[in-house]
Each structure stands twice: as C-alpha cells, then as structure tokens.
Chains A and B, each alone.
Chain A
Amino acid sequence: MAAVWSAALHNYFFQGVCMFATRLNGLVRHYVLASVALFAAIITVCSPAKILASEPLKVAAIYTVPVEQQWVGRIHKALSAAAERGDIAYVYSENTANTDYERVMREYAEAGHRLIVGEAFAVERATRSVASEYPETAFLMGSSFPPAEPNFAVFDNFIHEPSYLSGMIAGAKSRSGKIGMIGGFAIPEVNRLMHAFMNGAKATNPDVTFTVNFINSWYDPPKAKETAYAMIDAGADVLYAERFGVSDAAMEKGIFAIGNVIDTASDYPNTILASAIWHMEPTVDTAIAAVKANDFKAEDYGKYSFMGHGGGALVVDETLVDAELLGKVKAVEASILDGSFTVDINDEEPKSSN
C-alpha cells in the first residue's frame, strides 16, 4: 500500500511542480492537470493490483490556439478519450505562442512525457531541432513537411475524401450554380480540402462556379459572416464553411452550408447539408500503442486521417439530401474505401472561377 501511495503522491507532486513552473511563465496558459492527475491517482489508489501491471503513458500536447478551435479540438478530443480510458495520463498547454513553443516542448520533454503531440506549422525548424535533442521522447506533430528521424512523426488533416463527398452534395443542391467558399488562410491544410470539395461539386454539377475568399484569420467570425453575406449577395446558394461565422450567415439568409472538420449541424438546423469530419482517434491511438510497444518511428501518420482508417468521415443531414443523391454519394464512398477511386490531393491555393 505504501508503494501505491508514494506512486500516487509522486505523480501528484510532480504535476504540481509542473503547474507551478508554467504559472510563472505565462498568465494565459492554462493547465488542466489536476483533474487528470487526481483521476489517475484515485484509480491507482482504488486498484492496487493494477498499478504494477500498467502505469499510464505520460502524454503532453501543445496547442497554439485554445482547444475550442476546431482543428486542435479534434486532437484534444482524441487524447482526452484516451485519458478517460486510462491508457494515458494527459496534460496539455493551449494558446501557446509560437515564440514560446520551443520552451514548452523542452519543459514537457524534460518532465519525462513519453509522447508529445502538437502542431509544428509555424515552428517547423525549432520543433525538429528540439526533437532531435530528446531522442527518447516521441514527437507527433501536425506538419506540412516529411517526418524526421529518429523520433519526429507528422500528421495532418487529410480529410480530402469526405470533403470530395460533401462537394458532390453541394454541387447537386446548388440551384444558382454558384458556391461560395470562405477559408482562414491559403495554406496546404485548407487548400487541399477546398480543391477536393470543388472536384466533388464539379462531379455532380459540371457547370458550377466558385468564389473563394480568405479572411486572413482563424478566428474572426464577424468577418467570416460579412464575407458570407457578400457571397450570398452575389448569388451563392451553398457555402463551404471552413470558419465559424459562415454557417450563421447561411442560416440567417436561408441557404445551405457545408461543414468542415467538426459537426455543427445541430447548432444550425436545416442549414448544414453535410460535413466532412476529422477523427484524430486512429492517429493518436496508433501513436500511443507504438510508444507503449517501444516501436515509435518517424513516420507520416497522415494516412490515419484517411477514410480507410476511420480518420475521415462524412455526415449527412438526411432530411435535406434526397435518397437518390445520397445513393450516388454512398457509391463513391464505397469505391474510395475499396481503393478503386482516389481523391486527388492538391495543395495549391484555390481560385475563384472566372
């Protein structure tokens, strides 16, 4: 029993030290350590036999935006689920400035976290150099670049397949033949989904035209909304909602929208035709299993976001989409899953049709 207590106390004490250190370093940063640690402590105390068998893997995540943001929200959800199952002890740091990213990475690595998950997009060089200094720690980072030996694996939101399917629905549902697309920044992660969506729309409606607009922010719903209004004024009757604010305008004006990454259909009744959903669980669970088995490699985990691995999915509001169209979409979905159809990946900046 003493050993159990000491393990639990050590665990809790350590989290406290960690929390204290980071409090000193930034006001904004928020740590949800206590609940996870306490949960882990209670579990270990309640079942003394278990602790010897498997101590949960220590996993840390570093996000540059709050966990409400759709993209990191998916990673957070997958890791939280793993923590709830008891597979891992999960701590995270959100809203970390890119200039501060390296320090937080080092702190977690020094603190003995075995797997560190994050996003390297704006700090590719720094994260790779930190990772090479901690060869014992596994790093799984969102990145547009290849993995780096020995311990820097990469992932990305490869949900171009469900995006293509959602495009098929958008193309078929547009009466005016004009689709408006609003994105945050023109970066590969956004561009490839937009291209897949556009290809899907052209598959069901070859004459469809697109207007593409970037608002230069991840988080400016009023601006996204204004942009959506402008597209509706110009005749668009289906909107591709890459950002918050677009679906609001669509619902207000009584037109349709296509969701992206998360499913917001319940917030916008009769508006969201379909959404291309990203599931991070396959990616995260594969990485956790690999670290546990001491078999983590510098791989490209991008494929775990494909539909075949369950990382991408299409949800459809069947009250808005008729059975015939749905059948067509399901047929393409099946051919994606059996490998007979491949959706192109195009990272170029999408342009409005002339």
Chain B
Amino acid sequence: MEYIDILLSANFWAAAIRIATPLIFGVLGALVCERAGVLNLGIEGIFVVGAMCGWMAVWLGAGLWGGVLIAALAGAFFGLLHGILTVPLGLSQHVSGLGITMFATSVSYFAYRTALPDVSSPPRIEAFQPLDIPVLSELPFIGPALFQQTPMTFLALALVLLVSYMLYRTPLGLAIRAVGDNPSAVEAQGLPVFALRIGAIMAGSALMALGGAFLTMSAFDAFFFGMINGRGWICIALVVFASWRPGKALLGALLFGAFDAFQIRLQNEVGAVIPSQVFLMIPYLLSIVALVLVARKADYPRALLQPYFRGQR
C-alpha cells in the first residue's frame, strides 16, 4: 500500500521535521508569552521581522549565528513594544497583537526596499547546510530522518528542553507561570509583575523571530515578501493544542509537519483523482480535529488576556 510506504520512508520524516522546525520556534514563543498571561498575535509579523533581519544581517556580513542573534533581538524589540502596550498600559491584547503584525510586516518590507531599492530578485546568502554528524547520520532510517538536519533544527529541539526546564524547574519559571495564573499573588510575594510579563513577551517574541529566521537562513536562502504564509497563526492554534506545555508543543508541531509532508506526497500519488485544494486543506482540517480531541480539557493560564492593574482586584 503506497500510503504506508510514504510513512515508512526516512525522507518523509526528515521533511516532517524540516516543516515543523519554524513551528517549534513559534509555538514555544507563543507558549512563553501566554504562560505569562499575554496573548501575542504579533507572531505573524514577528516571523517576518525575524526572516528579514536574520537574512539581511547575514547578507551584510554578520555570519550565520550573528544573523540568528540579530533576528532574536529584532523579535525581542517588537515583543517589548507589545509588552508596553498590553502590560503597563493594559490595552487589548488582540488589537495590539494584530497591530504589531501589520506594523512589523510593513516595517520589514520598508527596510528591505530601502536597503535594496532596485533588485530583480532578492540576493542569496550561504544558508545553513544539513549537518553530517559522525555515526548518528549514518544510522539506518533514523540517520537520514533525524540527524541530517540543519543546526537550527537542533537548536529548536534544544530550546524545547530548555524552555521546559526553565518553566518547571527554576524559580523564574515558577514566577512566570504564576504571573499568568494569579498576578496578585506574585505581587504579594514582592515580585515585579510588569517586568516578568514584559520579559516573558520579549523572550517569547525572540523565539518567534527565530522561526522566521529559519525560513530565510535554513529552509531557503533569500527573503521574499509573504513567504511566512500563515505559519505564525498555526502556532497560535498549536499552543492550545499543546495545553501550554512545551513537550506537547513539540508533538503538535511535528504532527502538523507530518500532515503537511504527507499532504504533499499524497497530492503526487492521487492528484489526478482528487482536486489539489482538498490536499492543501488536509493539514488544517486535521489540526482542527486534533484540537477538538485534545483541547477541550485544556488547562489555560487563568490570567490569560487579563491586564493586571496594581491595587485592583
């Protein structure tokens, strides 16, 4: 059966992980923000900023890891903006987030066009290449599926562990979770609610920007306007799917990557019979089904979407 063959091929799993990588960054970032009680709908725009800044930095000679750093800093800057609007000013998180998305997208394009006013196609950079890890890369099946990825994929996986450890095993993580559940209690402990929330949004936005940077520095080697193509929004849904837990977030991203990789291969196999649009729908449809199955029992941060004002109950 050819469907089974698809699932049994190492290339399929390698593709699933490649497609999942930007989502892993994005969903982790959204998770950190929301754990601190702030929804960040700026994610789609912050992806664009990360994609543009990381690539532009490399093109200007910053080196690949320098580009990663600059993308993260640019993401954190827009996180700061979102943080100031939603935390001390207590504005609507939806409106501010969507505003950040539009603003960040426009500013990225403006900067791109100012730097490159007259190009017929965007300049290419030397992107990250898949690593060749001795022994591991040569393992049958697992080697090509898991260990022939670019360094940014391994960074994403490492960050899942790091965020998980930070949230559940450190005092800082406890404070962040608490500020998203019951900010008054955090205040009563003498901890700075605003600083914790803004810090979490900045860190989360930096992670989101890395998701964008992956697209221009690993998955491809140039920046095109519109290439984010809704990946940020998928992360917002994946956070709910993951019940705000990093491990499940990784699982959700991988599941979506697998759906998409499967969809592409299925379109090749039976594209003559079924319209192509049906296949394009599949990952999103399956995501909704998964969401319904998993998220009904979702344990969301209690203070999510609620601005905190000092001295108010």
Contact = CB atoms under 8 A, between A and B. Distances in A.
Contacts of B105: 28
A349 B275 CA distance: 9
A230 B271 CA distance: 13
Contacts of A244: 121, 222, 224
A27 B107 contact: yes
Interface in A216-266: 216-223, 225-227, 229-231, 233-234, 244-245, 248, 262, 264
A43 interface: no
A68 B260 CA distance: 27
Given A32-B117, A68-B224, A222-B215, A211 B268 contact: yes
Nearest to B129: A252
A65 B272 CA distance: 31
A211 B119 contact: no
B110 A30 contact: yes
B220 interface: yes
A77 B119 CA distance: 11
Contacts of B148: none
B219 interface: yes
Interface in B9-23: 9, 11-12, 15, 18-19
Overall SS of chain A's interface: loop
A72 B283 CA distance: 31
B287 interface: no
Contacts of B269: 234
A29 to B, nearest CB: 9
A354 interface: yes
Given A68-B122, A233-B11, A217 B229 contact: yes
Given A95-B225, A219-B225, A352-B272, A227 B264 contact: yes
Contact of A28 (B110, B122, B260, B267): B110
A225 B220 contact: yes
Contact of A213 (B9, B122, B225, B264): B264
Nearest to B218: A222
B265 interface: yes
A186 B271 CA distance: 13
A66 interface: yes
B276 A214 contact: yes
A221 B264 contact: no
A222 B261 contact: no
B233 interface: no
A48 B112 CA distance: 38
Contacts of B220: 221-222, 225, 245, 248
Given A213-B271, A214-B276, A234-B268, A220 B15 contact: no
Interface string B205-227: 00000000001000111101111
Sort chain B's interface into a size bin.
35 or more
A107 interface: no
B227 A222 contact: yes
B265 A353 contact: no
Nearest to B15: A226
Given A68-B120, A222-B215, A216 B280 contact: yes
Contact of A221 (B12, B222, B261, B275): B222
A223 B229 contact: yes
B113 interface: yes
Contacts of A233: 9, 11-12, 265
B248 interface: no
Interface of B: 9, 11-12, 15, 18-19, 103, 105-107, 109-110, 113, 117-122, 124, 215, 219-222, 224-227, 229, 260-261, 264-265, 267-273, 275-277, 280
Interface of A: 27-28, 30, 32, 65-66, 68, 73, 77, 95, 180, 186, 211-214, 216-223, 225-227, 229-231, 233-234, 244-245, 248, 262, 264, 267, 349, 351-354
10 closest residue pairs by CB, A with B: A222-B219, A352-B271, A27-B106, A219-B226, A221-B220, A351-B272, A211-B268, A352-B272, A230-B264, A214-B276
Given A68-B122, A264-B121, A354-B273, 15 more contacts: A65-B225, A66-B109, A68-B119, A77-B120, A186-B276, A211-B268, A212-B271, A219-B224, A220-B227, A226-B261, A233-B9, A244-B121, A244-B222, A248-B221, A352-B267
